[in-house]
Amino acid sequence: FARYPDSLCPLTLDHDTLLALLDQVEIVTLPEEDGTAIGEGMALAIERLKESTAKSRVMIVLTDGVNNAGETTPMQAAQIAQALGIKLYTIGAGTRGTAMIPVPTPGGQSVLRRMTVDIDERMLTDVATLTGGQYFRATDAATLQAIYREINRLEKTANVTEMYQQYAELFPWFLLPGLACLVLEIVLSTTRFRTIP
């Protein structure tokens, strides 16, 4: 999400589908769509989770910025999550200080510019604490993986997954040649190739 959150994938354990949908996500290039609506994104996720009957309902908020768009604040969304029993884990991603960030140019291209990285760690800590979750800081990919492993360890629950398998019937491949051999045997037994007792 940027200024407007959108839910692209249903709640699923199918990681391949999720990765395929993530590959289709495009970064916002228009200035009027730019922004970080953390509260709106959280509200949309809460809407998806509130009907879930799962034993544990957890939301992970991963951001590299501050809430600067949308009508719902992250704290308002966290209060709703708390009321519904949804636990929030928040992750601030990125380096401290400055980083190279793609910035759109008037010609529609984008160039990398060194800009100040500003992550609202206080807000991320507050919303996580309010719901019984925890705030983490990820400065690189290895740290982010370690954080996800830790959240997985903290929230491990047994999950029953139904697997469906579609079987392809192979008997026609053997039935047709078998019938052909049977017909050939009948035809040959009535001709000069028949057996003599």
Quick: pLDDT tens for 152-187: 988 877 667 777 888 888 888 889 899 999 998 888
pLDDT of 149 higher than 90 = yes
When pLDDT is averaged across residues 45-69 and rounded to a whole number, the result is 86
Domain locations in the chain as residue ranges? 15-154
**What amino acid is encoded at 112 in this protein?**
L
What is the Cα–Cα distance from 73 to 47, expressed in whole angstroms? 15
pLDDT tens digits for range 12-42: 878 898 899 888 887 776 767 777 889 999 9
Structure-token match 């047709």, residue found: 176
Classify domain 15-154 by CATH architecture: 3-Layer(aba) Sandwich (3.40)
